[in-house]
Amino acid sequence: MADMDRSAALQQQVNNAIHAGTALNIRGSNSKHFLGRVADGEVLSLSEHRGMIEYDPRELVLTARSGTPLAEIESALAEASQMLTFEPPHFGENATLGGTLACGLSGPRRPYAGAARDAVLGCKLINGKGELLRFGGQVMKNVAGYDVSRLMVGAYGTLGVLLEISLKVLPRPASSLTVIHECPQTEAINQMSHLLSQPVPVDAACYHSGHCYVRLAGSEQAVRHAQKQLGGETLEKSAPFWLALREHQLSFFKSSKPLYRVLVKPATPPLPIAGSWLLDWGGAQRWLVSDEPVAVIRESVAAAGGHVSQFRASVQDAAVFQPLSAALFTIHQRLKNSFDPHRIFNPGRLYSGL
């Protein structure tokens, strides 16, 4: 597909929807349709609004239209030996930059190099009044005005249509390898959290079917030194493993039972919920496949100070995401109202009433 700036046509569609009072279902290429609640509405497709706008490796900044496929962005970065810091899951061949940021998804490197929102420097968007607005910019530091660009990340398209996004990118590490230890879950949790206070160049850590995987990345010597320090076996060809984890292609994720995303402090001991577990993000993000009732899961996770969302739910109209306190929800509603007063963008995708 050719690069194209469809801003004007998209703005027109938004204005039409405002006048007609119809809701819009913003769509990149719909790879993440399973995420969140179901939003009704006419499809507003971003997949033709694509293309890289600016990328100068020396600036460590990339600007692209939201419909640009992630794969295209990643291959341009790879040519300059750079990468997206947050290692986003694609969940589909055509996953777009806009959809990825709207969902705020980050991959295994997240605890060590920052989340999707951390990489965002600026954006251009259409708000619910049909206005084209620019926030942030293409520089590393910018405190002029409220940080609306990062607010868009994880808002599931409920506040505006992302048109362009500027991201901070980084050089790829010169060297990377993965060490594995066979151990019980508790020991893996202790080890992964211990590493947080050690000067070891860890850039991913997970626990899966009885093994703790630690990915080291940095200069050649640093990685080799850390490998000796940590011991264990070295995983040959580790890239496919981390890719399969990131894309939920490990057999763990193939279950027909509901999949939950559980966020806790990384050192939290194993949670007493029946089901199978896979720990990513050094123990901070835990995937749970379970038939237990949602309420039971929520209660148990809340008791440990964490929160849960239904990642692949059986029913997508329930409260998929962790409910908010009344005071916070009020702020959410007012913010929604301030960006999208006619409530045309993805109504209900994140929470009922937003």
Partner 1 sequence: MTAEKTAINPHAHAQEVLLKGLLSLLPASLVLTDPEDLRPFECDGLSVYRRLPLVVVLPETIAQVQAIMRLCHKLRVPVVARGAGTGLSGGALPSSDGVLVSLAKFKKILNIDPQNAQATVQPGVRNLAISEAVAVHGLYYAPDPSSQIACTIGGNVAENSGGVHCLKYGLTVHNILMLKVVTMEGELLTIGAETLDAPGYDLLALMTGSEGMLGIIVEVTVKLLARPERAQVVLAAFDDVVKAGEAVGAIIAAGIIPAGLEMMDKLAIQAAEDFAHAGYPRDAEAILLCELDGTNAEVSEYIMAVRKVLTQSGATEVRTAVDEAERQLFWKGRKSAFPAVGRISPDYYCMDGTIPRRHLPRVLRQISQWSAEYGLPVANVFHAGDGNLHPLILFDANKPGELARTEEFGRRILQLCVEVGGTITGEHGVGMEKIDQMCIQFQSGELSQFHAVKAAFDPSGLLNPGKAVPTLHRCAELGAMHVHHGQLPHPELDRF
Of 137-176, which residues contact partner 1 (CB under 8 A)? 137-148, 150-151, 153-155, 159, 170-172, 174
Q: Which is nearer to partner 1, 114 or 232 (CB)?
A: 114
Site for partner 1 in 5-44 (CB under 8 A): none
List 12, 22, 75, 81, residue binding partner 1 (CB under 8 A): 81
d(Cα 167, Cα 182) in Å, to the nearest integer?
Answer: 37
At residue 180, φ and ψ (nearest 5 deg) are -125, 140
The answer to the question of residue 218 lying near partner 1 (CB under 8 A) is yes
Site for partner 1 in 282-311 (CB under 8 A): 284-285, 305-307, 309
Lay out the site mask for partner 1 across 264-283 (x = CB under 8 A, - = otherwise).
xxxx-------------x--
At residue 76, φ and ψ (nearest 5 deg) are -65, -40
* Buried b or exposed e, range 147-173, using 16+ CB within 10 angstroms: ebbbbbbbbbbbbbbbbbbbbbbeeeb
- Structure tokens of 260? 């939950």
Site for partner 1 in 110-139 (CB under 8 A): 110-111, 114-115, 117-118, 127, 131-135, 137-139
Q: Are 212 and 191 in contact (CB under 8 A)?
A: yes
Q: Using alpha carbons, select from 310, 282, 320 the residue that is nearest to residue 107.
A: 282
From the number of C-beta atoms within 10 Å of its C-beta (0-12, 13-18, 19+), residue 354 rates as buried
Q: For the beta carbon of residue 302, count every other beta carbon within 10 angstroms.
A: 12
Q: Which is nearer to partner 1, 161 or 226 (CB)?
A: 226
Q: Which is nearer to partner 1, 156 or 213 (CB)?
A: 156
Smallest separation (angstroms) from partner 1 to the CB of 139: 4
Q: Which is nearer to partner 1, 69 or 345 (CB)?
A: 345
Q: Are 332 and 25 in contact (CB under 8 A)?
A: no
Site for partner 1 in 237-256 (CB under 8 A): none
Scanning 3-11, 92-100, 212-220, 249-257 for contacts with partner 1 by CB under 8 A, the matching segment is: 212-220
